[in-house]
Amino acid sequence: MFDPMLNLVRHVSLRQLQVFEAIARLKSFTKAADELYLTQPTVSTQIKRLSDAIGLPLFEQIGRQVHLTEAGRELEVAVKEMFGILDRFEMKVADLKGLKRGYLRLCVISTAKYFAPEVLGRFCQQHAGVDVSLKVTNRDRVFERLLANKDDLYILGQTPDREIDLCSRVFAPNPLYVVAHRDHPLARERAIPLARIAEEHLIMREPGSGIRDVVLQTFERAGLRPHVRMELGSNEAIKHAIYGKLGLSILSLHTLTQEGARSQLALLDVAGFPLQRQWHVAHAKGKELSVVTSAFIEFLDAEGEQLTRQLDKTRARLTRWDDSA
């Protein structure tokens, strides 16, 4: 006797459902492949096998847009419910084991990658049985994942303006400085007007970056229009552009913590800077937190003090102006 449920169990894998969920959420095979670290042909193959097992197409492409079919919409509802059940089961198991074993899924904005791995390392040294997943992406993608409840916790440079119901707490400062090559004429000046910075070649992060938005808003409030020479997709690329004397940029001080006393970079003393921002750890409101997740939130409070001391040392190393002048 043919059993359709048994047929699905035999031919459908959790990986296929994970790929399906990512495409349905992101509305793109390419974005889903990037998020899951798979090639696009692999993603397409997984969806074809899933469609064959179900016996109906799950997506249709109209122009460049990917849309769910009726069967796809029904599967999306079922997959969300199933993954939710599995997540709750995973948390219950972790709670039963206490902090001896567990799993933490952390998603952070790009700039947080300069401290998040070290913080996670210190946490795992205290809790050797805990495994972690760290996802690094820009602010807009972090918000997408937060809305979809893809991770346990999120580290943000600012909480979203859009309607996202979340719980967040501040754990460390995140000051933004104007950064130049150490040989730049402004490197030894004091109280530089923002209007003077607007005249320089600026190197900016890509659209979707939180720092980019903050910087543009700062110039706009001052009635200034900056001269943007380049847009780059990472803080490291921006630093290398400054090494090459292609212009100035505005960066989080956290991106400079590995710069030594002989660094080619310098912090500028600009009126109104540093822009004082803060790091937030957040999760969706109403989310059931595991023992591991709750422990990591508490751990971040103590780590905030260490991160602050690290920033103070970085600031001292990269200050070129003469305080006695």
Per-residue confidence in pLDDT tens, the chain, 325 aa: 434 555 566 678 899 999 999 999 988 999 999 888 899 999 999 999 999 999 999 999 887 889 999 999 999 999 988 988 887 787 677 666 666 678 899 999 989 999 999 999 999 998 888 889 999 998 888 988 888 888 999 999 888 766 678 889 999 999 999 999 999 999 999 999 999 999 999 999 888 788 888 999 999 999 999 999 999 989 999 999 999 999 999 999 999 999 988 899 999 999 999 999 999 999 988 888 888 899 999 999 889 999 999 999 999 999 976 554 4
Question: How far apart are alpha carbons 295 and 293 in whole angstroms?
Answer: 5
CA angle in degrees (0–180, nearest 5) for 35-38-44: 105
The residues facing 61 across adjacent strands are 66
d(CA 264, CA 259): 8
What is the CATH architecture of 4-80? Orthogonal Bundle (1.10)
Domain-by-domain residue ranges, the chain?
A: 4-80, 84-174+278-312, 176-276+313-318
Query: Is it true that 84-174+278-312 and 176-276+313-318 share their CATH fold?
Result: yes
Q: Which CATH superfamily is domain 176-276+313-318 in?
A: Periplasmic binding protein-like II (3.40.190.10)
State how far the alpha carbon of 291 is from the alpha carbons of 63, 130, 138, 283, in Å: 46, 11, 28, 14
Domain 84-174+278-312: give its CATH architecture: 3-Layer(aba) Sandwich (3.40)
Length of the chain in terms of residues written: 325
